[in-house]
Amino acid sequence: APTPDPALLARARSVLHDVFGYPDFRGDQAAIVTHVAAGDDALVLMPTGGGKSICYQVPALLRPGVAVVVSPLIALMQDQVAALTANGVPAAALNSSLPPDEQRMIMQEALAGRLKLLYLAPERLAHTETLDLLGRVATGPGLALFAIDEAHCVSQWGHDFRPDYLRLGALHERWPGVPRIALTATATVQTREEIVQRLGLQGARRFVSSFDRPNIQYRIVEKHRPIEQLVSFITAEHMHPADTSTTAPRPDAGIVYCLSRAGVERTAAALNDHGIPALPYHAGLPAETRQCNQARFLREDGLVMVATIAFGMGIDKPDVRFVAHLDLPASIEGYYQETGRAGRDGLPATAWMAYGLEDVVRRRQMIERGAGDAAHREVQRRQLDAMLALCETLDCRRVRLLAHFGEVSEPCGNCDTCLDPPERFDATIPAQKLMSTIVRLERDRHQRYGAGHLIDILLGHETDRVRQQGHDTLSTFGIGGELSTAQWRAVIRQLLALGYLRIASDRYAVLTITEAAVPVLRGERTLELRRDVIGRAGGASRHPT
């Protein structure tokens, strides 16, 4: 990499110090700031909390003219503008929530060159008024740079796709001389290439920071009784004893993610019942309740936020000590973004998840029933498969996670599979018993049987349904006594996650075998699975020494 101009670097340092009050740049910041300040394009990949804002705010102050920052979240823009204003930097945000006269005033300030940073919501780019304004700024005070925050929103396959981000290409065509910096914390190798393609950033220098968050301990436990497991996890590892006789014990600050609003309500109520103060957050709550709960979580100590993924974007609370998932996220990107909210202060933190068979079934069904075309579904399937592979891995979780972001690493010693290696067992024979039961049931096209019924047959349970259907006469009836119900569920979950089984119907949880199962069924291939021991993984952690 070229060495930055020392004079420019010195100016950048003094801006960092005088305006933002930081003694020095972190990680790649110095290289990025000088690169952009010198007028060149950059693509910045940095994990959440890495310090992306400085990367465009300092060059904005070093270059003449107004810097335009495109950012997808109004709340985030307002926080940034408030922070900049507090540091004495003239900045403003244009978004549709402002009254027209205020918008006009901001435009006048920009035209007069009195603003250093102008934040724009992406939908603004669809208005000719905005483009006219930028045109007049360009010929007046000048355009310092374009910063494209959350650049992965340009990816049509990502979960944050914003169609207006596609207009950013046109900005560059109109003002090709203005340097651009695109930033994101969520980019797989494919997303990265998509950003480059769609924004025309082929010539941009790439700054890729490590995505590792070494202070976060990753753990994924088998879901059994999720709320009980969560309570014992928090109680064992994240509670502080009462300091006097008048105060109650209190938990570390933590976030618990649930898939549904009902799940959020239920979990928050249960935590409170167990003496763990918790607040709910989901899109179904009145806006005032949401804002109030969020503000309390940010300000007070000893609160657990129980939330859907509606919560968290732009939340900067450094001392979140744990992030727990009670339901499986749809992708590793989502999981990493959510768990990344833990331990931003660099102190030890835990990412804990309870995951089970029902998660695999539900997520697969959500994809098959969901809106969108076949190509989109295929992308979602691949994202889920990667997430499931992380859950089922027999190797270091961090190695898997980082590999997903294109980084090669060594086993970390600070995840559950490193600290407590899972027991493996040869599951070929149990898998054959299960698969041949499925094949036998498939001959009966009118009935739909899920995992529970399969396990009843394998364990020889004479339930009403088993007797009515005559399944007690199947040759596989009662041949599965070597495993318990929970162990059979774990086997089914792994076979589904690893692609040996799939959900046949989109309306019922019906299992069927895939092509991959055939060699196992024929005895041409053996199969090794992890033996999950209920209760074992839910207990206390061992921290690395």
Interface region with Zn ion, contact rule CB under 5 A, candidates 152-160, 320-328, 359-367, 391-399: 391-399
Contacting residue, 50, 122, 179, 251, with ligand ADP by CB under 6 A: 50
- Is residue 48 part of the contact set for ligand ADP (CB under 6 A)? yes
- Is residue 319 part of the contact set for ligand ADP (CB under 6 A)? no
> Smaller CB distance to ligand ADP: residue 132 or 316?
316
Q: Could you tell which of Zn ion, ligand ADP, none binds residue 71, using a CB distance below 5 to 8 A set by kind?
A: none
Write the burial class of residue 279 (CB in 10 Å: 0-12 exposed, 13-18 middle, 19+ buried). Answer: buried
- Range 208-237, binding Zn ion (CB under 5 A): none
> HEC states along 416-484?
HHHHCCCEEEECHHHHHHHHHHHHHHHCCCCCCCCHHHHHHHHHCCCCHHHHHCCHHHCCCCCCCCCCC
Tokens 């340097």 belong to 179
- Is residue 353 part of the contact set for ligand ADP (CB under 6 A)? no
Q: Could you tell which of ligand ADP, Zn ion, none binds residue 450, using a CB distance below 5 to 8 A set by kind?
A: none
Residues 6+ apart with CB under 8 A from 525: 428, 519
The least distance separating Zn ion from the CB of residue 398, rounded to whole angstroms, comes to: 5
Residue 213 backbone phi and psi in degrees, to 5: -120, 80
> Cα–Cα distance between 354 and 312 in angstroms, integer?
20
Answer positive or negative: Cα dihedral of 102, 107, 113, 119: positive
Apex 502 CA angle, 499 and 506, nearest 5: 145
> Cα–Cα distance between 79 and 177 in angstroms, integer?
29
Q: Could you tell which of ligand ADP, Zn ion, none binds residue 29, using a CB distance below 5 to 8 A set by kind?
A: ligand ADP
Contacting residue, 11, 49, 157, 504, with ligand ADP by CB under 6 A: 49
> Cα–Cα distance between 147 and 87 in angstroms, integer?
20
> Cα–Cα distance between 21 and 429 in angstroms, integer?
64
> Cα–Cα distance between 321 and 284 in angstroms, integer?
26
The least distance separating Zn ion from the CB of residue 255, rounded to whole angstroms, comes to: 22
Residues 6+ apart with CB under 8 A from 244: none
Nearest residue relative to ligand ADP (C-beta): 51
Q: Could you tell which of Zn ion, ligand ADP, none binds residue 511, using a CB distance below 5 to 8 A set by kind?
A: none
Q: Could you tell which of ligand ADP, Zn ion, none binds residue 398, using a CB distance below 5 to 8 A set by kind?
A: Zn ion
Q: Could you tell which of Zn ion, ligand ADP, none binds residue 50, using a CB distance below 5 to 8 A set by kind?
A: ligand ADP
> Cα–Cα distance between 290 and 63 in angstroms, integer?
39
Interface region with Zn ion, contact rule CB under 5 A, candidates 69-77, 179-187, 306-314, 409-417: 409-417
Q: Could you tell which of ligand ADP, Zn ion, none binds residue 396, using a CB distance below 5 to 8 A set by kind?
A: Zn ion
Contacting residue, 15, 143, 353, 396, with Zn ion by CB under 5 A: 396
Residue 267 backbone phi and psi in degrees, to 5: -70, -45
# residues contacting ligand ADP (CB under 6 A): 13
Interface region with Zn ion, contact rule CB under 5 A, candidates 308-316, 372-380, 417-425, 434-442: 417-425
Contacting residue, 18, 316, 482, 528, with ligand ADP by CB under 6 A: 316
- Is residue 46 part of the contact set for ligand ADP (CB under 6 A)? yes
Candidates 114, 34, 108, 124; CA nearest to 71 is 124
Contacting residue, 29, 188, 217, 350, with ligand ADP by CB under 6 A: 29
Instruction: Locate 332 and state its tokens.
Output: 């590793």
Q: Could you tell which of Zn ion, ligand ADP, none binds residue 418, using a CB distance below 5 to 8 A set by kind?
A: Zn ion
The least distance separating Zn ion from the CB of residue 226, rounded to whole angstroms, comes to: 24
Contacting residue, 238, 398, 404, 433, with Zn ion by CB under 5 A: 398
- Is residue 53 part of the contact set for ligand ADP (CB under 6 A)? yes
CA separation, residue 138 to residues 39, 66, 67, 125, 282 (Å)? 15, 9, 10, 15, 42
Sites of contact with ligand ADP (CB under 6 A): 22, 25-26, 29, 46, 48-54, 316
